[in-house]
């Protein structure tokens, strides 16, 4: 199972990716998680990415492409992976294609979680409240200013990635406004169609 999950911040990619991991036994490769780990560990990549991420902008393509290249070679990716938050630019999508071709692999599906923009800020606020209530640490970029920048980055740089896959007839759109269980069921259906 080699899958790409696309969608704006707050679309529910992380929630659905966790369910897919459970169901298909393949790892979730989230460039956001990888970058946050690099920031926490203060690695050279983390030091370079921190300010950019906090502001809600995209880190340079070569940084995330390098992370994914390294990760795809790991043994736990042998039976597949779920890409969450990558590719986020058309250049990243093209680089991914090269990385896969080099390994003799191809994608089984590219799923886009489509969500009304108006719902996204509310979802972010809800996530912040829930995280606080659970005593967790709120992400530095989960604030209205950075979130606005993240949405702008999505519109300008990531929406064209959906168009890129749609042009190649590789894109399946999923209604991300439906209840979580229904979104999961629609994804399952899309994946059995792709078999």
Q: Which of 1, 37, 52, 114 binds ligand ADP (CB under 6 A)?
A: 52
Which of residues 35 and 187 has its CB atom nearest to ligand ADP in the complex?
35
Residue 193 — φ and ψ, nearest 5°? Answer: -65, -35
**The tokens of 30 are what?**
């989230």
Binding region for ligand ADP (CB under 6 A) out of 28-36, 115-123, 169-177, 187-195: 28-36
Do residues 139 and 32 make contact, with C-beta atoms less than 8 angstroms apart? no
Binding residues for ligand ADP restricted to 81-110, rule: CB under 6 A: 85-86, 88, 92
Strand partners, 111: 5, 172
164 binds ligand ADP (CB under 6 A): no
Which of residues 59 and 109 has its CB atom nearest to ligand ADP in the complex?
59
Q: Of all residues in this chain, which one has the CB nearest to ligand ADP in the complex? A: 32
| Residue that has been written with the tokens 């529910």 in this structure | 12
Q: Which of 31, 39, 115, 187 binds ligand ADP (CB under 6 A)?
A: 31
Which of residues 88 and 164 has its CB atom nearest to ligand ADP in the complex?
88
Residues 6+ apart with CB under 8 A from 81: 1, 2, 3, 26, 27, 28, 29, 71, 72
Which of residues 16 and 92 has its CB atom nearest to ligand ADP in the complex?
92
Do residues 85 and 6 make contact, with C-beta atoms less than 8 angstroms apart? no
Which of residues 38 and 195 has its CB atom nearest to ligand ADP in the complex?
38
Residues 6+ apart with CB under 8 A from 10: 115, 119, 120, 121, 123, 124, 127
Q: How far is the CB of 141 from ligand ADP (least distance, A)?
A: 6
The residue among 26, 38, 25 whose CA lies nearest residue 66 is 38
28 binds ligand ADP (CB under 6 A): no
Contact positions toward ligand ADP, by CB under 6 A? Answer: 9, 31-32, 35, 52-53, 56-59, 64, 85-86, 88, 92, 141, 150
């Amino acid at each position: 199972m080699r899958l790409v999950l696309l969608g704006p911040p707050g679309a529910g990619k992380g929630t659905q990716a966790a369910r897919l991991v459970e169901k298909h036994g393949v790892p979730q490769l989230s460039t956001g998680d990888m970058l946050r780990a690099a920031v926490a560990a203060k690695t050279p990549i983390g030091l370079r990415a921190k300010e950019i991420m906090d502001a809600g902008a995209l880190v340079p393509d070569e940084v995330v492409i390098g992370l994914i290249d390294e990760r795809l070679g790991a043994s736990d990716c042998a039976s597949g992976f779920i890409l969450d938050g990558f590719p986020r630019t058309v250049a990243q999508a093209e680089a991914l294609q090269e990385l896969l071709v080099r390994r003799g692999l191809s994608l089984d599906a590219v799923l886009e979680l489509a969500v009304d923009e108006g719902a996204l800020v509310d979802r972010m606020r809800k996530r912040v409240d829930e995280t606080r209530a659970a005593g967790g640490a709120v992400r530095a970029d989960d604030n209205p200013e950075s979130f606005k920048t993240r949405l702008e980055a999505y519109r300008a740089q990531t929406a064209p990635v959906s168009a890129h896959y749609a042009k190649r007839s590789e894109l399946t759109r999923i209604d991300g406004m439906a209840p979580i269980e229904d979104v999961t069921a629609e994804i399952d259906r899309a994946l059995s169609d792709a078999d």
